[in-house]
Amino acid sequence: MATQLHTELRSTTVEKRRLTGFNEKPFRTVLSPMDMDRHAVLTKLGLGALTCNSAVAIYRSRGDPATVAFVAGAYAAIVLLFYFLLRFERAGRGDRGRAKAAVWVLTTLLTAMFAARIAPLMPPLVAYVVWFMAVGTAVAGFWAFFLNH
């Protein structure tokens, strides 16, 4: 099946080059506007669910200011992460630096926030593992975003 698909794609590319000339860039699949609208709707639904869930969590923990601050901070970080991911996806190749840095900072912040919330609930050895994984995730993200070319 995969070989047949590869052969069909290759013959389509060869036919496209034959019709347009060899100097043109290879054919690339582009999402239609309908597909982008569908993804926008799913993103808005997800953001709406996150907002409702965060509002309920804040309402239920209204007597605990630390928990309210944690939920509000996590919500703000996730909303900012979505914003900077959108900017990163829409930016040109050379304009992605600041958006990429913001995405890494926000993901590292969220990782540290959740690790700080979970680690105290665990036995000491497991807490060290949680922090080790959080630091490893941040370092691997930095390497993938900024050092890996």
Query: How far apart are alpha carbons 44 and 67 in whole angstroms?
Result: 26
pLDDT at 70: 96
Asked if the structure places residue 91 within a domain, the reply is: yes
Structural domain includes residue 28: no
Name the residue type at position 47.
Answer: L
Torsion angle in degrees (nearest 10) through CA of 86, 44, 112, 103:
0
- pTM, whole model, 2 decimals? 0.69
Q: How far apart are the first and last CA of the chain?
A: 33
Residue 66 in 3-state DSSP? helix
Does residue 114 form part of some domain? yes
- pLDDT the model gives residue 33: 46
How far apart, in whole angstroms, are the C-alpha atoms of residue 137 and residue 7? 40
At residue 21, the pLDDT reads 52
| Within a domain: 141 | yes
Instruction: Classify residue 104: in a domain, yes or no.
Output: yes
Measuring CA to CA, which residue among 112, 111, 54, 114 is closest to residue 79?
54
Q: Which of 29, 10, 107 is nearest to 115 (CA)?
A: 107
The angle formed by the CA atoms of residues 19, 21 and 26, to the nearest 5 degrees, is: 90
For the chain of 149 residues, list the mean pLDDT of each consecutive stretch of 10.
Answer: 51 50 49 56 90 96 94 96 89 82 95 96 96 96 87
Domain count, the chain: 1
Q: Is residue 5 part of a domain?
A: no
Location of structure tokens 């036919």: 15
Domain span holding position 56? 33-147
